[in-house]
A and B are shown apart, each in its own frame.
Chain A
């Protein structure tokens, strides 16, 4: 029986090639989107699940808040003393292990010198907690001794080629040597962290590197990723509940008044390891994380595209049902029951879904590499063949087939044989209004996608063209490695003799980065200094920083080399002046101010500029000039290049760099590139949105094409009569298009509020955003209407130009 159904289905498919193509193409595209998005979702949700103890591992995070409880900063890392103290105070915690990222670090072996960004100090018990595939060396000892290091296979090959890496010495930051004690396989792509070089944590105990005392007492350096292991199904909330007391017991700062209750100002929280990638959005993460909302949005998009394709099938099948009425009648007369007919039509739709699925798997496999590049992900085509994926994959055609085939099947199997066989049959009003509802749904979805895409694009352009308050063009930024202030001064003076280098500013952080440091501040209020309750971000700058970025002063002056007392003075931004409640920038200049342990005066106020991305509000900030011996406060060097010959300028800088800093690779980036990278994820989102919106609209249009071709065939006699009576092409096209245009308008009215809600939510991610303008909605509606009109016209014009004699004679 089934065999007969499939035979019939296949012949029907071949007989109506145009409609079959529309159905097949739509379903295939829908399934391709679904497959690719499913791969993405599986990848995103699989983060860190590969560890055998994954559900017993937790990470400790730290947040800071104002006295009123508002969180000002949340970090995925904590201070070094917390790790051992946690193990000590909570006996249920079985293991604590830490990873300290070291940022960009020059590593040297013989003549090979690279700057490594995935370098971490790792606790010796790391492998007791995490599953790392150690290929060489003893995992239980390899990270025990100070000054030992483990490398990933990739890194080992980079430095040693085919040579045996074990026990070789590599040089760390031109400071000390490390002995290779083990080799491991790189962490898989679905890990939230990817150390490539792991230096033994005990190396930090050396006072020249960090110092044991520091490890035990420094509560201010919160850059240690700290994980702990508990028994199966352990209620970690119990531990979290004891954290405030834990903080009050241990945290202290030299010189802090004994009345301070630290638990009121800082909190420790616990995250499940497997939740980090999708749910953790702290200000400091090992890598850019994913987002559960993005997973939801893309799942919805995948389903929607598939739904549009299913709707096409439903629409076209019900529209064509008149053509099959005779067959249905004959089958009923031959003894077919309703159930048998439903089964027949369902097997047809399942067959089509199967063909579509086969094609979709092939296409997905073909375009996966291109998509990986576009979306910045690493999805493996091999995953398509994983049983976890393959099993549901086999079920999908049944579901899709049944979803899209059930309505037409029920509808058609209820035809009465007497009517169908007498040729009296006409598809009833109910099925027509159902088809209209389906078209409205398709176009509604398309319009929502058009609007969303347009708004995402607008916001992107807004961010790229926003006035930032500083100049980001032709600024080369480099890490700051100079060991003494005087060494830098000679380097600077050497380069400044060149006409194409205008200025070289040093700072602790650079624009496009985050402002994460802060200290306690007191500001002049009446006759005395009052402690400031607002968090003021800290930036160490030298006198050349402001000119390098063309940041304008609202009042006062910049730091000056000539004024030696400037190391105790401050520059504020306008946001700080406002936060302090001072009347104006001019009135702020000259007031007493203290920050951390420095007291002095405000010498100038800079106009607000967007140091951080446009997602963040401009934060109140304090700039101070470190003393010459504190030049290690600086982390970055910004060189403003003028004129057109950038290449020559860079060559000159590189040459000088090599003279002054021989052991350190010359690695620079341009600030405007960094700026564009800030919005990379939005850019990817927008290109993916465009892609998906395009596909959705294409499928919807194909459906409309099929539907209108059918409507025109049905009205061919009417068209003939009208032409004979003198109707022109234009009026006939209008007649045929009108019905569809009305549907698109209804779709637009439904789509507008949905789209508005969606984009409004998306825009709240940005502190600085575009207003949602009504014309985008109007344009999207008109665009959808035009697309629909164009689609229908293709066939309508042909029908209108046909010779009426032909169509009238057929009766």
Chain B
């Protein structure tokens, strides 16, 4: 599903080149559940953003679902992204001015899905996540765990093949964190969604089927 080859990412700081990622080669099959670990500044988030097409490497190639991400047209890449990738953030990143329902609905709006279908899809996921009763609340009215639940629901609403999570439990207490991890596991096993999560916690990392350790921009073997 994902093939990264010779991915480098650097910043130019004066005359020095500061490397964030160095020679990343990675193949991920569909249905995988990968935890990316490593100390702060090791390049975890950057790697995740590159996989999620929010960022581009300085060098290297990236194939996603058999398509070369950096040679296809902007519009095609956008379609590829919209239909296949969902993002979950540490800080939830819900839109404060929108209700739970509207937040979850947002990605569908950008895929031009008809109203009736949208309603059915949102209702379905609200039901699955047990948050039907919260659908008209605004993010500030929810606890952190509930907000993250909404964040995940939003990431999954468009039925992506790949879910990317950047420290999804970082702002949560351990009980809430566990619930989220259980949810990830379920999604991965039951729906076959490929998951890549960045985490600091050994415990959470253990939910993944595979762990990748990053140090100073390199994958530790």
B102 contacts which chain A residues (CB < 8 A)? 4, 7
CA distance A337 to B111 in the complex (A): 10
Say whether A335 contacts B107, CB under 8 Å. yes
Closest to B110 in A: A335
Are A330 and B78 CB-contacts (below 8 A) given A335-B111, A340-B110, A417-B54? Answer: no
Q: Is A391 an interface residue (CB 8 A)?
A: no
CA distance A778 to B58 in the complex (A): 57
Mark out the residues of chain A between 1 and 19 whose CB falls within 8 Å of any chain B CB in the assembled complex. Answer: 1, 4, 7-8, 11-12, 15
Q: How many residues of B contact A (CB 8 A)?
A: 23
Say whether B95 contacts A333, CB under 8 Å. no
A11-B98, A327-B96 given. 4 additional CB < 8 A pairs? A8-B97, A11-B97, A335-B107, A421-B89
Say whether A330 contacts B94, CB under 8 Å. yes
Q: Is B70 an interface residue (CB 8 A)?
A: no
Per-position binary interface string of chain A over residues 383-418, scored 1 when its CB falls under 8 Å from any chain B CB and 0 otherwise: 000000000000000000000000000000000011
Interface centre among A4, A12, A335, A418 (most CB of B within 10 A): A335
Closest to A327 in B: B95
Q: Is B171 an interface residue (CB 8 A)?
A: no
A337 contacts which chain B residues (CB < 8 A)? 78, 110
Say whether B54 contacts A418, CB under 8 Å. yes
CA distance A330 to B111 in the complex (A): 15
Per-position binary interface string of chain A over residues 337-353, scored 1 when its CB falls under 8 Å from any chain B CB and 0 otherwise: 10010000000000000
Say whether A335 contacts B78, CB under 8 Å. yes
With beta carbons under 8 angstroms apart, the residue of A326, A334, A340, A417 that contacts B154 is: A334
A336 contacts which chain B residues (CB < 8 A)? 110
Are A334 and B110 CB-contacts (below 8 A) given A417-B54, A418-B55? Answer: yes
Say whether A421 contacts B110, CB under 8 Å. no
8 closest cross-chain pairs (CB), A and B: A335-B82, A335-B110, A334-B107, A11-B97, A334-B106, A336-B110, A418-B54, A333-B87
Per-position binary interface string of chain B over residues 72-112, scored 1 when its CB falls under 8 Å from any chain A CB and 0 otherwise: 00000010011000010101011111100010001101110
With beta carbons under 8 angstroms apart, the residue of B91, B98, B158 that contacts A8 is: B98
Q: What are 6 A-B contacts with C-beta separation under 8 Å?
A: A11-B98, A12-B97, A327-B95, A330-B93, A333-B87, A334-B107
Per-position binary interface string of chain A over residues 288-323, scored 1 when its CB falls under 8 Å from any chain B CB and 0 otherwise: 000000000000000000000000000000000000
Q: Is A329 an interface residue (CB 8 A)?
A: yes
CA distance A8 to B96 in the complex (A): 10
CA distance A334 to B97 in the complex (A): 16
> What is the distance, in angstroms, from B84's C-beta to the closest C-beta of chain A?
11
Q: Is A607 an interface residue (CB 8 A)?
A: no
Q: Is B49 an interface residue (CB 8 A)?
A: yes
> What is the distance, in angstroms, from B46's C-beta to the closest C-beta of chain A?
9
Say whether B98 contacts A331, CB under 8 Å. no
CA distance A530 to B39 in the complex (A): 112
CA distance A331 to B110 in the complex (A): 9
Say whether B49 contacts A15, CB under 8 Å. no
Q: How large is the interface on A (under 10, 10 to 19, 20 to 34, 35 or more residues)?
A: 20 to 34
Interface centre among B82, B109, B158 (most CB of A within 10 A): B109
B98 contacts which chain A residues (CB < 8 A)? 8, 11
With beta carbons under 8 angstroms apart, the residue of B78, B107, B109 that contacts A1 is: B109
Residues of B near any A CB (own CB < 8 A): 49, 54-55, 78, 81-82, 87, 89, 91, 93-98, 102, 106-107, 109-111, 154, 158
With beta carbons under 8 angstroms apart, the residue of A1, A15, A333 that contacts B54 is: A333
Closest to A331 in B: B106
CA distance A333 to B163 in the complex (A): 12
CA distance A412 to B78 in the complex (A): 19
Say whether A326 contacts B93, CB under 8 Å. yes
A335 contacts which chain B residues (CB < 8 A)? 78, 81-82, 107, 110-111, 158
B111 contacts which chain A residues (CB < 8 A)? 335
Interface centre among A329, A331, A334 (most CB of B within 10 A): A334
> What is the distance, in angstroms, from A122's C-beta to the closest C-beta of chain B?
69
Say whether A327 contacts B87, CB under 8 Å. no
CA distance A336 to B105 in the complex (A): 12
Closest to A326 in B: B93
A418 contacts which chain B residues (CB < 8 A)? 49, 54-55
> What is the distance, in angstroms, from A51's C-beta to the closest C-beta of chain B?
56
Say whether B97 contacts A327, CB under 8 Å. yes
CA distance A1 to B111 in the complex (A): 11
B158 contacts which chain A residues (CB < 8 A)? 335
B97 contacts which chain A residues (CB < 8 A)? 8, 11-12, 15, 327
CA distance A327 to B139 in the complex (A): 13
A8 contacts which chain B residues (CB < 8 A)? 97-98
B87 contacts which chain A residues (CB < 8 A)? 333
> What is the distance, in angstroms, from B148's C-beta to the closest C-beta of chain A?
14
Say whether B55 contacts A421, CB under 8 Å. no
Say whether A330 contacts B95, CB under 8 Å. yes
Mark out the residues of chain A between 605 and 636 whose CB falls within 8 Å of any chain B CB in the assembled complex. Answer: none
CA distance A8 to B109 in the complex (A): 13
> What is the distance, in angstroms, from B103's C-beta to the closest C-beta of chain A?
9
CA distance A336 to B49 in the complex (A): 17
A331 contacts which chain B residues (CB < 8 A)? 95, 106, 110
CA distance A259 to B186 in the complex (A): 117
CA distance A7 to B81 in the complex (A): 26
CA distance A333 to B89 in the complex (A): 11
CA distance A12 to B154 in the complex (A): 21
Per-position binary interface string of chain A over residues 415-428, scored 1 when its CB falls under 8 Å from any chain B CB and 0 otherwise: 00110010000000
A327 contacts which chain B residues (CB < 8 A)? 95-97
A334 contacts which chain B residues (CB < 8 A)? 106-107, 110, 154
Closest to A423 in B: B91
Closest to B157 in A: A334
> What is the distance, in angstroms, from A229's C-beta to the closest C-beta of chain B?
63
> What is the distance, in angstroms, from A5's C-beta to the closest C-beta of chain B?
10
B91 contacts which chain A residues (CB < 8 A)? 421
Closest to B97 in A: A11
Closest to B105 in A: A4
CA distance A340 to B55 in the complex (A): 20
> What is the distance, in angstroms, from A345's C-beta to the closest C-beta of chain B?
14
CA distance A330 to B102 in the complex (A): 13
CA distance A507 to B183 in the complex (A): 106
Interface centre among A11, A330, A417, A421 (most CB of B within 10 A): A330
B95 contacts which chain A residues (CB < 8 A)? 327, 330-331
> What is the distance, in angstroms, from A707's C-beta to the closest C-beta of chain B?
23
Closest to B94 in A: A330
